[in-house]
Chain A
Amino acid sequence: MTGVWVALVTIAVAVLIGLLWQARQGRIRNRATALPPPVRAWLAEAGPHDGPTLVMLSTPVCARCPQARAVLRELAGDTPSIRRLELDLDTHPALADELGVRSTPTTLAVSRSGHELFRVAGVPRRAELREALAPHL
């Protein structure tokens, strides 16, 4: 009988966690903070850019990265002033800690002056991302 109760409670808890997780996915979280120096250095290597940069953070184990990549590729394709970069956190593990990123994909929107504007965990929602970037174009 214990097993039946454990199964029911586990299902309920998992569904609750899943719903909370789903609500957070793709949401834009405003940050407006300066990027940590190592991240600025990494960006500087990519050269200057006159417009916002979307940095997609990925790892080798990332089921949704292809979907997130497709959304960003389309957005950057439509709007030439948006630059799209990708940062593999596996090869830059220290940057994950510096940025406080714990899951992938996470996308950072960075202003031309190197400030983080906002970030999106999970696959970005196309229309919301476009809207959030509009004032920075």
Chain B
Amino acid sequence: MFRLSDPPVDPRGPRFAAWVTTAVLVAVLVSGSALLLGAQAVVFALGAFAGLRFSPYGVLYRAAVAPRLGPPTEREDASPVRFAQGVGFAFAVVGTAGYALGAPVIGIVATAMALGAAILNAAFGICLGCEVYLRLPARWRPQPSTVKARNNPQRGATA
């Protein structure tokens, strides 16, 4: 599902995207709008399945925010971020269906869960993939090719 080869990303980009996502999901809860949550689902899908460089919030970050911040001091692997986008996509799809098909409780619960994850990411930098990876069944685990290649010499890595 997540065979990835994105280049490393400026870690401030995903944090910025998480803040935008937080604002959008709060607006969804307040308005109960299936359309707005559906749009957020598309945003998640672009980041998770097409690649982070296609994520609209990432594009906004690179165009409007990054030039004011200067170059990043470190870069982080893109795969945890894409994995989180995929999880967000799943919740957004369920929530959109709930709101659109007259089951607002499902819409509210799914949106609240996605909101919780977005806040943890935005405010604390918590990486969902790091916390859940080992608890997932093997076939659901994202397997990023870039990280695999980089981590291959596991042994004797003394400095």
Contact = CB atoms under 8 A, between A and B. Distances in A.
Interface of A: 2-4, 6-7, 9-11, 13-15, 17-19, 21-22, 45-46, 58-67, 73-74, 76-77, 83-91, 93, 96, 101-105
Given A21-B126, A91-B154, A10 B134 contact: no
Interface residues of B, number: 46
Interface of B: 11, 26, 28-32, 74, 76-77, 79-81, 83, 108, 111-112, 115-116, 119-120, 123-127, 129-131, 133-135, 138, 141-144, 147-148, 151, 154-159
A103 B76 contact: no
Nearest to B147: A60
Given A10-B116, A11-B119, A84-B159, A61 B154 contact: no
Interface of B is mostly: helix
Contact of B115 (A7, A67, A77, A89): A7
A57 to B, nearest CB: 9
A86 B157 contact: yes
For the complex, would chain A's binding face be called helix, strand, loop or mixed by DSSP majority?
A: helix
Nearest to B144: A60
